[in-house]
Structure 1
Amino acid sequence: MPRTAQTKEGRLQIRLDATSKGVLQRAANYRHKTVSQFVLATALEEAERVVRENEVASLSSADWTIFFDALVDPPPPNAELRKAFAKYQKAKE
């Protein structure tokens, strides 16, 4: 049966002191992983959290209703919006 594991081509190198390496090794041992596996898994979890914090918007129920209503039935454009659109149209020409 063929193996379906992804080929690992990227490499990341870090320098650290002996105390830090020891802590990472102990933590990896508790998770029954190598230091590389532990560091990668932990770094990815944190990276995904940071990306979510910066790229995902969460709204309260009340705010979601306001947002949805504005999408479904937007208010008519005001003078400033009409002015901005005219400026945009002129810039495209």
Structure 2
Amino acid sequence: MPRAAGTKDDRLQVRLDAASKSVLQRAASYRHKTVSQFVLATAMEEAEKVIRESEVVTLSSPDWTLFYEALTNPPAPNTALRKAFATYQKTNG
């Protein structure tokens, strides 16, 4: 029988001391969630934050202007770039 979309079949086990568990239970109760719901929601928020910080580049207005200018009006290839491209073509083309 096929599983329904969104079915939760994977588990993640965490070992923790009694004091940590008590803090998580207390925090979860303030959010009206189970400890599992609280830990998953909090971990997902932090995971998404870490991913954004690692994968998204944010530029200031002056930096964006420089970046855009380099993309729209790139400088002519110099000798080193032409040589590197020739080497690339020999090995890959």
Does TM, scored on the shorter chain, surpass 0.5?
yes
Q: Which ranges of 4 or more aligned residues in structure 1 deviate by more than 2 Å?
A: none
- Using structure 1 for the length normalisation, give the TM-score: 0.90
Distance in 2 between residues matched to 1:11 and 1:78, nearest whole Å: 55
Structure 1 counterpart of 2:13: 13
SS of the residue corresponding to residue 9 of structure 1 reads coil
Deviation sequence 1:8-54 (CA, Å, 0-9, x none): 12211111111100000000000000000000010011111111111
Aligned mates of 1:26, 1:59 — CA distance in 2: 40
Superposed CA RMSD: 1.4
TM-score normalised over the length of structure 2? 0.90
- Identical counterparts, % of pairs: 70
What is the total number of aligned residue pairs between the two structures? 90
Verify: 1:43 aligned to 2:47, yes or no.
no
**Stretches of structure 2 lacking an aligned partner (at least 5 in a row):** none
For structure 1, which runs of at least 5 residues remain unmatched after alignment?
A: none
